[in-house]
Amino acid sequence: MATDIKIKNIPEGYQSIITNGKHTIIGDEPLEVKGTDLGMSPTELLLSGISMCKVATIRNVARRKGIEIGEVNAHLSQIAKLLIHEADNCYVTRVVRGEWIINDSKAI
């Protein structure tokens, strides 16, 4: 099953409307970096996805083995430079409308 995520970035702060066609959430950046803090940051969203995958896997294995378990919790914290490096390896299709000057990210 392919996952198709669509993101629409709106002019307020760094707010992005993120949807898979069935569910929608808002991503944003904190006030300190000129976001509006109305949603989780990209790093928080990434860590949330990793955490959910881990706890869901534990529950899945327990269910398949007939083991009853209670809550499964996870706590992840960020290693920002590593996450940014790995994110650079992701294939992303972008549609950018408007007049833009795009510089190489290494030059920033």
Q: Which domain holds residue 68?
A: 41-94
Output the pLDDT for position 13: 87
Domain count, the chain: 2
Q: Is residue 30 part of a domain?
A: yes
Strands 16-19 and 24-27: antiparallel
User: Cβ contacts of residue 38 below 8 Å, gap of 6+?
Assistant: 13, 15, 26, 28
Residues in the chain predicted with pLDDT less than 70, given as ranges, are 1-2, 78-108
Q: Is residue 27 part of a domain?
A: yes
Q: Is residue 102 part of a domain?
A: no
Output the pLDDT for position 95: 54
Output the pLDDT for position 12: 85
Output the pLDDT for position 39: 95
Q: Is residue 105 part of a domain?
A: no
User: Which segments within 1-108 are labelled E, that is strand?
Assistant: 6-9, 16-19, 24-27
28, 38 Cβ separation under 8 angstroms = yes
Task: Classify burial at 48, counting beta carbons within 10 Å of its beta carbon; exposed 0-12, middle 13-18, buried 19 or more.
Answer: middle
82 and 58 inside one domain: yes
The model's pLDDT over 68-89, given as tens digits with 9 standing for 90+, comes to 888 888 887 766 566 666 666 6
Helix (H) or strand (E) holding 60: helix 42-64
Output the pLDDT for position 94: 52
Output the pLDDT for position 81: 63
